[in-house]
Structure 1
Amino acid sequence: MSPVTTKTIGPLHLEDLEPHRFEDLVRQLLYDFRTWRDLEATGRSGSDEGFDARGWEIVGGAPPVWIGDGDTPAGDDADNDANDRQWLIQCKREKSISPAKLRSYLEDLPNVEQENLYGIVFVAACDFSKKARDTFYDVTRQLGFLEVKLWGKAELEDQLFQPKNDHLLFAYFGFSLQVRQRSMKTTIRARLMTKRKAQKALTAFTEILIRDASDERYPHLDPDDNLPEVKRRRWKVFRCAGCFYDGVYFTARRSFAFLDDDGVHWDIAERINDAIPHNDPWRIEPQNRSDEDWKIRTDTMQKWDALEEKNKGWLETFFVLPYDRILAIDEDGDEFFSHPHVYVAPFGERGPFADYCPIKLENNEHWNKVQISPLESTRIAFFDRAPPEDDISKNFYADAK
């Protein structure tokens, strides 16, 4: 199967933030980390003495103990009920930090006992290797910190993508997941509403007028009759085939088909297209229609009618109009075309339709339906083929891609 492309969010460019803005982001993420009596932005002064931020955590009656990866040594036995815990916050806006460089940063920190420090949060705009993380926990334990946290790029992104921090994601990086979710919810609701209206108004075998809502020439063709018909108007009548999961189906081609008993081989009367609507006021009839065309149709129908029900069927190719491209549905039509009108977004290279055309090749037998995959390699010569200069067959396979 072909790979499926999905939309995702790229990595956050934390390293592109201005240094003080990176410190601001970290400090604002820390507000929910603990219950703080005070959280100071000491790094903004320029002479921070090793503190990018400093916080005092309000604590209860539990004595301090080491909290980190690895062994858990016992902490001091002193009662800390009445004393806040002082935290050191260090921020490094770098693309990479090796274990050796991380060690040097930690060894340059203020003296833990002298500053009466309890814990440290070391934050960087890069990912840390396992060796770097092991180094961090070893060195901070040796320095005397009782609780330590190492936040790399992955930890920061995890926090920023939480709903409670969506305002920070928008403030620092310019997009909001909650806004995207609301937009997606609105899109889905609109799609379902359109689908329900289409199911009510656009029934199978009904002739429907599809209109480019931006074409103000309606209902009159472009006066330049030298233009091909497709350029003289951006509206056309199609026969509806029904509403499905991916949109409204309209029959592009419908040809008499032969299905062999082996369930593999097949053929179609490619010179006949029964999908052409009977009620199209703007359709320009071809000038070269002759008695021979009617004879071809009569001979083909006789040959097809002589088949058993299990061997005769139809090959149908469908245009798919996605629900998202439908702007409005007028169920009553107007004095020029009294059947439903479907207003769509401006036409592209394939008009308003999706870039694929489903195909169905099925026999007419009611109780024993058989479908065959219409591969060119399994097609046989049962009906007369179109002459080489006739592009009907080529167009059929182009639409079927």
Structure 2
Amino acid sequence: MSKATPTRTTNPIHFEDLDPKRFEDLVRELIYDFRDWQTIEATGKGGDDDGFDIRAYERTTTTTVDDEGNEVLRPMDGNVWMIQCKREKTIPPSRIKKILADIDPNNVPYGYVLAAATNFSKKAYDTFRDELTRLGVLEFYLLGNAMLETELYQPKNDRILFTFFGISNVVRRRSRATEIRSEVANKNKVMRVLGDNAANSWILARDSKDRFYPYEWEYADFDKNPRWKDFEVVELHPRGLIVSIRWCFAYFDEASKVFDFAEPSIVVGNPRDGMQESARDRERREKVALVRDYWERLPRKNQAMFRVNGIIRYDDMQVIDDKGDSWNEVPHIFTDFINGSPVSGTRSFLEKGQQQIGLDDFTRVSFFPKSFPEPKFGEIYNKEGLALPDRLCELYANFRGGELENLFDVDGRFGHLKPNDVAVVRFGQKEDRFIQITHRYEVSGDYLLKEHPQMAWQVKQQIGRDPLPDDLIQVLECRACYRHQWEDQV
């Protein structure tokens, strides 16, 4: 299943790590464009501040008339603001009252700001507002951690953020832009190399930390943690390459919502891999052949493929070598492998024909045996060809009608055939073609006509008429087989 991707967040700013005087400097920097100041005085720096850490005069003007009757704007001393800075982790309402007690009732400032490295409670806000309203302060602001962070993350304050904390959102944005350009460049190059329809093409993923390619024996754990691996491409996704990770023969029961898949997974070789098949690969391929033989004898309704696809993200690709080399003549994609894999997420599902079946509602059960038997063959009926219309025999003998998947019997002509038996399809001087019965069951004509019109049409092609509702039709599922598979057992 696909793994959830965690969101990226920024850690809280640690105002408490600043020296108290340095915290005052930070607040003073932040309030520079809070008002149109005439002067800002760092009164707390001198030590004897009369309760003021920062005193500021807001620029104001008044309009007068000169001797000639013209209006003139004259600057005034401005409104006095008192800014107090407290680098304290907690400031309860009682502490608020103590801080505000420093205000001279006979010389009340126009405005007041309390900035602190903490988060204030509602009761603290209420106390702050009530006390300053009682004193007659006209404007007041309580700035806690959240408000200070909000101000620092404003683009206009990025210089201050970097100066005091070494963080720059401008640098981050530039870095992200670089990442996006790299991702787009990788996507475009992959599309040029593989084409718009990349399905069934191949790539070789290589660990960027590896220095021993193509010599597997340099790694004692290469089987468990490969440093390079070829993949068949499934499709181009907007975020990366979807590649096939596993492909196994599977059993499933739609009604019971259960499934199982058999190991080992199917061996699909890169057709442009210049490496010779190893003894290990050959042994695996032979095991898969036994699995397939067992799987093909299951009722066709229970046959499916278990698929696991993965994604190699464009933004994880470091280098794309579109030429490859003489050992692997496919594009090489360099990325960081994690636990022997270049993929950053996977998706598992069942595949039946063109249908993909999600596994959220299914439970895996133990269905397949631990070891698979050798292929079995029953009676070999190769004296006479199957009693099928000449037209069907000609199509099958000339490989023009696809595989013969079912025989249909309404009059007993195939009554002698049982699962595992072999029969021959014969037409003129063409080479005989053999089929093996894998499963047999009975169905009514009424059921086919209502539920499976396509199969009802196939019945008509074999028996020469439409199935009737009261027909009892024997369905013999079959598969192609070859003389060399069974002749040694005769």
Q: Who is 1:214 aligned against?
A: 209
1:97-116 equivalences under 5 Å are: 97-113=91-107
> Identity of counterpart residues, as a percentage?
35
Query: Is 330-339 or 42-51 further displaced after alignment?
Result: 330-339
Who wins on radius of gyration, i.e. which is larger?
A: 2
| 2:330 equivalent among 335, 339, 347 | 339
CA-to-partner distance for each residue in 1:326-345, whole Å, 9 max, x for gaps? 11222222222222111223
CA-to-partner distance for each residue in 1:162-183, whole Å, 9 max, x for gaps? 1111211111122122322332
Q: Tell me how far apart the structure 1 counterparts of residues 32 and 222 of structure 2 sit (CA, whole Å).
A: 66
**Which residue identity lines up with residue 109 of structure 1 in the other structure?**
I
1:377 aligned to 2:363? yes
Query: Which aligned runs of 4 or more in structure 1 are off by greater than 6 angstroms?
Result: 1-4
1:240: how far off?
1.8
Q: Who is 1:358 aligned against?
A: 347
Q: Tell me how far apart the structure 1 counterparts of residues 186 and 149 of structure 2 sit (CA, whole Å).
A: 37
Q: Tell me how far apart the structure 1 counterparts of residues 288 and 4 of structure 2 sit (CA, whole Å).
A: 47
| 2:137 equivalent among 132, 137, 145 | 145
CA-to-partner distance for each residue in 1:325-365, whole Å, 9 max, x for gaps? 211222222222222111223x33133222x431231211x
Query: Is 243-252 or 155-164 further displaced after alignment?
Result: 243-252
**Which residue identity lines up with residue 333 of structure 1 in the other structure?**
G
Contact 1:329 1:341 in 2 (8 A): yes
1:128: how far off?
2.3
SS in structure 1 at match of 2:210: coil
| 1:314 equivalent among 288, 305, 308 | 305
Q: Tell me how far apart the structure 1 counterparts of residues 22 and 199 of structure 2 sit (CA, whole Å).
A: 60
CA-to-partner distance for each residue in 1:58-80, whole Å, 9 max, x for gaps? 11349xxxxxxxxxxxxxxxxx9
Q: Tell me how far apart the structure 2 counterparts of residues 19 and 191 of structure 1 sit (CA, whole Å).
A: 44
Q: Tell me how far apart the structure 2 counterparts of residues 3 and 295 of structure 1 sit (CA, whole Å).
A: 36
Q: Tell me how far apart the structure 2 counterparts of residues 314 and 112 of structure 1 sit (CA, whole Å).
A: 87
1:243-282 equivalences under 5 Å are: 243-260=236-253, 262=255, 264-271=257-264, 273-282=266-275
Q: Who is 1:165 aligned against?
A: 157
1:23: how far off?
1.0
Contact 1:55 1:88 in 2 (8 A): yes
SS in structure 2 at match of 1:357: strand
1:201: how far off?
2.5
Q: Who is 1:88 aligned against?
A: 82
1:387 aligned to 2:378? no
Q: Who is 1:68 aligned against?
A: none
1:140: how far off?
2.3
CA-to-partner distance for each residue in 1:232-286, whole Å, 9 max, x for gaps? 9722222222222443222222233455464834454544514343443345332
Q: Who is 1:190 aligned against?
A: 182
Query: Is 195-204 or 33-42 further displaced after alignment?
Result: 195-204
SS in structure 2 at match of 1:387: coil
Structure 1 segments unaligned to the other structure (5+ residues): 63-79, 389-401
Alignment CA distance shift 1:353-1:377 (3 Å): same
1:229: how far off?
4.7
Q: Tell me how far apart the structure 2 counterparts of residues 320 and 48 of structure 1 sit (CA, whole Å).
A: 63
Alignment CA distance shift 1:109-1:315 (3 Å): same
SS in structure 2 at match of 1:159: helix
Q: Tell me how far apart the structure 1 counterparts of residues 322 and 346 of structure 2 sit (CA, whole Å).
A: 26
| 2:315 equivalent among 313, 318, 324 | 324
Q: Tell me how far apart the structure 2 counterparts of residues 240 and 265 of structure 1 sit (CA, whole Å).
A: 29
Q: Who is 1:76 aligned against?
A: none
Alignment CA distance shift 1:258-1:232 (3 Å): closer
1:224-235 equivalences under 5 Å are: 227=220, 229-230=222-223, 234-235=227-228
1:121: how far off?
1.9
Higher percent of residues as strand: 2
**Number of aligned residues:** 358
**Which residue identity lines up with residue 252 of structure 1 in the other structure?**
I
**Which residue identity lines up with residue 360 of structure 1 in the other structure?**
F
1:311: how far off?
5.8
1:110-149 equivalences under 5 Å are: 110-113=104-107, 117-149=109-141
Alignment CA distance shift 1:208-1:31 (3 Å): same
Contact 1:317 1:358 in 2 (8 A): yes
Contact 2:113 2:142 in 1 (8 A): yes
Q: Tell me how far apart the structure 2 counterparts of residues 139 and 9 of structure 1 sit (CA, whole Å).
A: 35
**Which residue identity lines up with residue 246 of structure 2 in the other structure?**
R
Q: Tell me how far apart the structure 1 counterparts of residues 83 and 284 of structure 2 sit (CA, whole Å).
A: 88
1:44: how far off?
0.7
**Which residue identity lines up with residue 101 of structure 2 in the other structure?**
E
With structure 1 as the length reference, what TM-score do the two structures score? 0.76
Q: Who is 1:40 aligned against?
A: 41
Contact 2:227 2:340 in 1 (8 A): no
Q: Tell me how far apart the structure 2 counterparts of residues 295 and 312 of structure 1 sit (CA, whole Å).
A: 16
Q: Tell me how far apart the structure 1 counterparts of residues 18 and 77 of structure 2 sit (CA, whole Å).
A: 35
SS in structure 1 at match of 2:179: helix
What is the aligned-residue RMSD (CA, Å)? 3.5
Contact 2:267 2:284 in 1 (8 A): no
Q: Tell me how far apart the structure 1 counterparts of residues 126 and 281 of structure 2 sit (CA, whole Å).
A: 84
SS in structure 2 at match of 1:230: coil
Q: Tell me how far apart the structure 2 counterparts of residues 200 and 22 of structure 1 sit (CA, whole Å).
A: 55
Structure with the greater relative contact order (CA < 8 A, sep ≥ 6): 1 or 2? 1
SS in structure 1 at match of 2:279: coil
Q: Tell me how far apart the structure 2 counterparts of residues 232 and 54 of structure 1 sit (CA, whole Å).
A: 65
Q: Tell me how far apart the structure 1 counterparts of residues 218 and 129 of structure 2 sit (CA, whole Å).
A: 81
**Which residue identity lines up with residue 385 of structure 1 in the other structure?**
P
